[in-house]
């Protein structure tokens, strides 16, 4: 792991290297994904089936491509009562939060007499990628599907890999709860390509969202423009800003909550107390030993874990803004004071009693968030990712006289005579 102090002579250089570090797909992944996408575009179902057999160890045939609604309902009904209640609570809180995001249409007439406005409409179809196998997360399905439903998407399609043909019942239960219309037993870049282009068996969608491995993220990046996407997501990140009043075991657990996702995940601690930093580092070792995910968490922490000791936590917001992390915890007496200065973060968790993991499941805001410093210019998943805005204009006889001459002057200045003439004719010029 990396240890930095802002008082070190080489801090600026080493911190800049940390900020610029890219923990994402390499050129080989990009080339492989390009090949898969083109193959699926040209050969459709045949290519998808071949890649599914190669990567997931089963061959989808006939009815084996899809998982029917009855199977999803059975999976939901079979849940232990406490787990079913937990999923229902999460779904209710996610739905309530996202309903408040719905945008309002506009329709008004301005001072010149021109009627203006905009209407928001949902896309016709959305594809949700849900990881399968070891990394099967029903919470991610809820976080993607519920905003789409709230937005009013007419057709909701899930693709999820089923290694060796095995189906994760929790994912199916979440699909039932969220009202998913179709569930397909396909994963990887081939699933993203099939959602984008469509095949004989699978109809295309308009937007693709959801997390996945490097191949899935790269496929979404390459297919942006053919379809809309939520974001290009990389390995998970957490930045914890904490003073010495915290329990070091709590902070260690918070750091590992993201480290356990992926060997390429990154956990960073900023603190103003070197002794506390040492305590957290010691507790990370203790906590790793207790985790079933120890191998992944250990690899992440040893390769990408970072501790930064500052002279004052007043320095933390500037560092946080440079890192623009996916998740930022502020574990101090007055977290709002620091939060007011943080401009770039996917989601912020305020106070000592707010671990990032609460946001992953039951808080309500979306846990699909920008990584790789993309929080500088993008936001977490919302209902707006499943909607588009159409503006409208209505000009009357009177109002075209008020604004038309200026439009003619601009069209003439740009050398676009037909533009000008279409207005001149209406003005009788």
Residues 6 or more apart whose Cβ sits within 8 Å of residue 378: 231, 370
The catalytic residue among 218, 326, 329, 356 is 326
58 is catalytic: no
Q: Are strands 266-271 and 182-184 parallel, antiparallel or unpaired?
A: unpaired
Lowest mean pLDDT among 61-65, 164-168, 205-209, 333-337: 61-65
Q: Give me the chain's average pLDDT, please.
A: 95
d(CA 300, CA 282): 16
- 27-105+121-229 is classed in which CATH architecture? 3-Layer(aba) Sandwich (3.40)
The predicted model gives 167-178 an average pLDDT of 93
pLDDT at 376 over 90: yes
- C-alpha distances in angstroms, 171 versus 135, 174, 360? 11, 5, 15
d(CA 274, CA 267): 17
Residues of the chain with pLDDT > 90, as a percent, come to 90
- 2-22+234-363 is classed in which CATH architecture? 3-Layer(aba) Sandwich (3.40)
Lowest mean pLDDT among 112-121, 125-134, 302-311: 125-134
pLDDT at 378 over 70: yes
326 is catalytic: yes
The predicted model gives 133-139 an average pLDDT of 75
d(CA 366, CA 382): 7
The catalytic residue among 98, 176, 304, 327 is 327
d(CA 182, CA 186): 12
For residue 134, name the pLDDT band (cuts at 50, 70, 90): low
- Decide if 2-22+234-363 and 27-105+121-229 have a common fold: yes
Interval 383-410: pLDDT, tens:
999 999 999 999 999 999 999 999 999 9
pLDDT at 149 over 70: yes
Start-end of H helices in 119-209: 138-151, 169-178, 188-197
Confidence at residue 291, expressed as pLDDT on a 0 to 100 scale: 97
Domain borders along the chain are 2-22+234-363, 27-105+121-229, 395-427
Confidence at residue 226, expressed as pLDDT on a 0 to 100 scale: 97
């Amino acid at each position: 792991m990396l240890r930095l102090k802002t008082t070190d002579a080489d801090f600026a250089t080493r911190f800049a290297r940390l900020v610029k570090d890219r923990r994402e797909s390499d050129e080989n992944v990009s080339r492989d994904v390009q090949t898969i996408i083109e193959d699926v575009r040209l050969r459709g179902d045949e290519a998808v089936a071949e890649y599914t057999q190669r990567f997931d160890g089963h061959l989808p045939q006939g009815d084996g491509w899809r998982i029917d609604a009855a199977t999803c309902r059975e999976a939901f009904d079979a849940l232990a009562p406490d787990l079913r209640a937990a999923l229902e609570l999460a779904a209710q809180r996610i739905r309530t939060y996202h309903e408040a995001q719905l945008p309002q249409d506009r329709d008004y007439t301005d001072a010149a007499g021109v009627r203006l406005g905009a209407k928001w409409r949902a896309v016709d179809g959305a594809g949700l990628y849900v990881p399968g196998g070891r990394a099967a997360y029903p919470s991610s399905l809820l976080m993607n599907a519920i905003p789409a439903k709230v937005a009013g998407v007419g057709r909701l399609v899930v693709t999820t890999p089923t290694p060796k043909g095995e189906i994760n019942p929790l994912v199916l239960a979440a699909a039932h709860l969220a009202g998913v219309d179709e569930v397909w037993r396909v994963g990887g870049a081939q699933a993203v390509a099939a959602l984008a282009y469509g095949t004989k068996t699978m109809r295309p969608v308009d937007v693709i969202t959801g997390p996945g491995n490097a191949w899935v993220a790269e496929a979404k990046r390459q297919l942006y423009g053919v379809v809309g996407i939520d974001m290009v997501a990389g390995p998970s990140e957490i930045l914890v800003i904490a003073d010495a009043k915290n329990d070091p075991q709590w902070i260690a657990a918070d750091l590992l909550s993201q480290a356990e996702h992926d060997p390429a995940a990154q956990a960073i601690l900023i603190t103003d107390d070197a002794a506390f930093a040492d305590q957290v580092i010691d507790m990370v070792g203790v906590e790793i030993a207790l985790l079933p995910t120890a191998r992944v968490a250990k690899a992440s922490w040893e390769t990408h874990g970072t501790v930064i000791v500052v002279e004052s936590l007043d320095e933390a917001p500037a560092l946080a803004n440079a890192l623009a992390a996916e998740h930022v915890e502020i574990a101090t007496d007055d977290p709002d004071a620091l939060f007011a200065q943080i401009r770039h973060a996917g989601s912020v968790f305020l106070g000592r009693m707010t671990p990032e993991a609460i946001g992953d499941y039951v808080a309500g805001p979306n846990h699909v968030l920008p990584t790789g410093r993309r929080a500088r210019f993008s936001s977490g998943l919302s209902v707006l990712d499943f909607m588009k805005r159409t503006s409208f204009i209505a000009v009357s006889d009177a109002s075209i006289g008020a604004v038309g001459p200026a439009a003619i002057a601009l069209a003439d200045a740009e050398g676009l005579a037909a533009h000008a003439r279409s207005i001149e004719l209406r003005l009788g010029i």
